Amino acid sequence: MVNPVLLIAVPLGLAFALPLFGLISKRIVKYIPVVAFIFNFALALRLIPDVLKQAIVVEIGGFPPPFGINLVAGPVGVLFSALIALAGLLVAVYALAYITEGPKEKYHMLYLLLLAGATGVVLTGDIFNLFVFFEILCISSYALVAYIGDRAGIESAIKYLIQGAVGSSFLLIGIGLLYGLFGTLNMADLAQQIESASSISVFVPMVLIITGLGVEAAIFPLNAWLPDAHSSAPSSISAILSGIAIEVGLYAVVRVLFTIFGATNMFMFFAFLGVLTLLIGEMCAFAQNNIKRMLAYSSIGQMGLIVFAMAIATSYALTGGLFQLVSHTLGKGLLFLTAGYMIYRSGSMEISAFEGMGKRMPLTSLAFTIGAFSLVGLPPFVGFPSKFLIVRAALAKEEILFTVLIGLVLLGTVIEGAYFFRVVQVLYFKKANGNSERKDAPVAGLIPMVVFVAFILVMGIYPQLVIEVLNSAASELLHRMEYIRSVLG
């Protein structure tokens, strides 16, 4: 059996070995992330059949779970690591041609660290270990947002850093309180003991931890950093921040809420918060003229939708929410990658500068259109089955409140459709003024776009390919007793 710890160890080790490879040859450095994530993706796929039968628990240093740090490669962990590896691989291929300026070695090193941190967060079974991996993710993303080094990049990086650091401090206070209450840091052990404490003494650490993680998960009102950071970073990093970093933050929130605290009485609040986040994100996105800010606000909206789906807390809803996570990673990753080259060719982030792009960059524009349609939720793209599952789960609840909330969600989707169709209209139905030379993105940029499009189409037409993994991931989140049993035995 393959050891899931390699999913973290390989990118982490290669990140620190990367400067040494740089001593041998400057040109091979950029291929190292590609190699690392090919390995990770293959390993994660290889683990899926085993994990569906039983979660793999890795004891680090040979200490049995409540005492030592352990990794839990359950369906959720492996699903997320496969997603991280896939997006990481495609964006690393994209970066081969896209990142041409600046300290390239540091870019690739931080990129590997960011994704190693993300994989660590989704696999760990120890809450302090989760904090450490979370900080690896956050610190490398602060640095990568500032990679270009222009005014906007530095300014948004420092905003992101200050908000993120306060969030991490809250998370750490919450972890300290939990340790003071229970004397353990193991998530399964905490989950087992949480009922023995009075609800008010558990409530304070829960609020602190959710607030701390919510900053990275971009839950309203903690998301002020996101539009600046996502729009000022290089496009390849925007794709990873939108497609992976906030998803991992959301994973941590969901894991803490469902598994550790089992906080069923909080779900109504999170349903409202999710819908609020969705509506605010979509309305702000509608008002934007800058393409990357529009996509960033749209990410906030999508996070709201996923929070809402998770808060319904039925097995359909969780499957739908996780599916929406996958479809958001694929769709938003594709949109940021295509937008990157459209910005590069037109020299501006304004949507109006993309007039006539449908003729100038036909393949890139087509990929953008497919990504936009998928996020809005049109069939036959992957956004359709995921949104459909969420709507169905909300209606199956048969409560008037959820029917009203899902109505608001659909209103948000309409707004989403409006601003995405506006961009598609600019791409295809406006005459280009001035430069109309036909030149598409380079091959290294087109390959990841094509692969993203292929995934979006295949999963949209055959959702049953992934539904089994999503179902068992949903049941891992929903049944905390099974999680406790699989870790503690």
Partner 1 sequence: MGISNAFDFLQNHVYYIGSFGLIFIGLFIMLVKHNLIKVIIGLSILETGVNLFLVSVGYISKGTAPIFSKSAMEAAPMVDPVPQALVLTAIVIGVAVLALALSLAIRLYHHYGVLDLRRIKELRW
Specify the stretch interacting with partner 1 by CB under 8 A; choose among 107-115, 145-153, 252-260, 457-465.
Answer: 145-153
CB of 3: closest distance to partner 1 in angstroms? 24
Specify the stretch interacting with partner 1 by CB under 8 A; choose among 9-17, 140-148, 266-274, 415-423.
Answer: 140-148
CB of 422: closest distance to partner 1 in angstroms? 20
Specify the stretch interacting with partner 1 by CB under 8 A; choose among 24-32, 137-145, 239-247, 371-379.
Answer: 137-145
- Residues between 166 and 195 that touch partner 1 (CB under 8 A): 166, 168-169, 172-173, 175-177, 179-180, 183, 185
CA-wise closest residue to 330 among 423, 218, 458, 138: 458
- Residues between 279 and 298 that touch partner 1 (CB under 8 A): 284
Tokens 């807390």 appear where?
A: 313
Nearer to partner 1, 233 or 473 (CB): 233
Residue from 94, 107, 142, 182 in contact with partner 1 (CB under 8 A) = 142
Nearer to partner 1, 145 or 191 (CB): 145
Specify the stretch interacting with partner 1 by CB under 8 A; choose among 143-151, 309-317, 405-413, 425-433.
Answer: 143-151
CA-wise closest residue to 291 among 235, 217, 356, 241: 235
DSSP, residue by residue, 111-163: HHHHHHHHHHHHHB-BHHHHHHHHHHHHHHHHHHHTSS-SHHHHHHHHHHHHH
| 128 near partner 1, rule: CB under 8 A | yes
Taking the C-alpha atoms of residue 193 and residue 283, their distance in angstroms, rounded to an integer, is 42
72: left (phi over 0), alpha (psi -120 to 50) or beta: beta
Nearer to partner 1, 30 or 230 (CB): 230
Enter the tokens of residue 322: 């996780």
Q: What is the DSSP letter of 489?
A: -
Nearer to partner 1, 35 or 284 (CB): 284
Q: Report CA torsion sign: 213, 214, 217, 222.
A: negative
| 124 near partner 1, rule: CB under 8 A | no
| 154 near partner 1, rule: CB under 8 A | yes
The number of beta carbons lying within 10 Å of the beta carbon of residue 26 is 11
Contact (CB, 8 A) for 340 and 236 = yes
Residue from 126, 216, 228, 355 in contact with partner 1 (CB under 8 A) = 228
Residue from 125, 227, 301, 371 in contact with partner 1 (CB under 8 A) = 227
Nearer to partner 1, 12 or 87 (CB): 12
Q: What is the DSSP letter of 61?
A: G
**Strands 56-59 and 70-73: what pairing?**
antiparallel
Contacts of residue 166, defined as CB under 8 A and 6 or more positions apart, other chains included, come to 215
Q: Which residues bind partner 1 (CB under 8 A)?
A: 128, 132, 135, 139, 142-143, 146, 149-152, 154-159, 161-162, 165-166, 168-169, 172-173, 175-177, 179-180, 183, 185, 224, 227-228, 231-232, 284
